[in-house]
Amino acid sequence: MSRAAVIEPVLLVHGGAGVRRQDIDAGSEDEIRGALAQALRQGHALLQAGHGALDAVTAAVVVLEDSPHFNAGRGAVFTHDGRNEMDAAVMDGATLRAGAVANLEHVRNPVLLARAVMEHSPHVMLAGAGAETFAREHGIALADPDYFRTELRWRQWQEALRREASGSNEDTPGGDRFGTVGAVALDVHGHLAAATSTGGMTGKRWNRIGDSAVIGAGTYADSHCAVSGTGWGEFYIRTAAAHAICMRVAHMRQSVHDAAERVIRGEIPELGGSGGAIALAADGTFAMPFNTAGMFRGRMGADGVPHVAIWKDEP
């Protein structure tokens, strides 16, 4: 590869939309920013070493799954029945291979299982007990339910039950419908990848599955674009949001900024939904739109510095 053809790797991450200033204290905010920065460093180091985009997004999401501050992995929210049910997906833009898992209760890092499904099974999506059997067969680490219990998520669950019992429609701190982690990356070979992981909605019932594990809804990557979404999953499924952004980039020749803005700040809120996304194009341009008060997000590129933001008034 000539010097003129060298591609600068780029990594974007998110830790969920829907956050409000009154929902987090200064100490938690510092820890959240630190976790986002660590995810960026971990994934970008792999890109700098010549690893593929899929390795980078997987590594970044593992860092966020291991943090109790995000609704994924260790910090997953509680279902209506007081359990944790987690979903995740990965997609390799160069090959259109994908792996997804849903309704996991014991898998420590759902994103690792999603990648194993992609690489070691003939299927795209596995769910529930079967997915966890597959995890055991392929050496994916499991954890007892206590591992996923945090005081914050416990309080949010109790508040959701209280509101349900009282018939209240008042908002819940942190939001019932929000909270996901994800990453998209461009590697030195020009390949893109996306990964997303979530604990879903607080108080969800009936083994509800959101958009994160649905390829094309909350997670998508091809040779033109990579997207990871975060928000009210039903609307991301109905609009095939991640795929819609990439199709606008590939076939309508829109910039990734315009494409993401139209879907995230146009189509989804027009239907009554809300949330955000991170989107990355093959030329290294990117967008991080959201239509909520804040979104945990960050990027790392040629300068080798993690740039992290939460609120609308931050660059």
The predicted-structure confidence for 136-162, as pLDDT tens digits, reads as follows 999 999 999 999 988 888 888 888 888
Q: Would you say residue 170 has pLDDT above 70?
A: no
CA distance 53 to 255: 21
CA distance 53 to 192: 6
pLDDT digits (tens, 9 = 90+) for 255-282: 999 999 999 999 999 999 999 999 999 9
DSSP 34-91: HHHHHHHHHHHHHHHTT--HHHHHHHHHHHHHTSTTSSSGGGPPP-TTS---EEEEEE
Q: Which residues are catalytic?
A: 180
Q: 8-311 domain in CATH 3.60.20.30?
A: yes
Q: Would you say residue 175 has pLDDT above 60?
A: no
* Cβ–Cβ under 8 Å, residues 153 and 145: no
Q: What mean pLDDT is predicted for residues 65-70?
A: 95
Residue 22, pLDDT score: 84
Q: Which amino acid is at 205?
A: R
pLDDT digits (tens, 9 = 90+) for 8-40: 999 999 999 988 888 888 999 999 999 999 999
Q: CA dist 183 to 36, 59, 130, 155, Å?
A: 11, 9, 26, 28
Distance of CA 162 to the CA centre of its chain: 28
Percent of the chain with pLDDT over 70: 95
Q: What mean pLDDT is predicted for residues 79-105?
A: 96
Q: CA dist 128 to 73, 106, 211, 250, Å?
A: 15, 10, 16, 35
**Burial readout 176-205 (b: 16 or more C-beta within 10 A, e: otherwise):** bbbbbbbbbbbbbebbbbbbbbbbbbbbbe
pTM for the full predicted model? 0.94
The domain locations on the chain are: 8-311
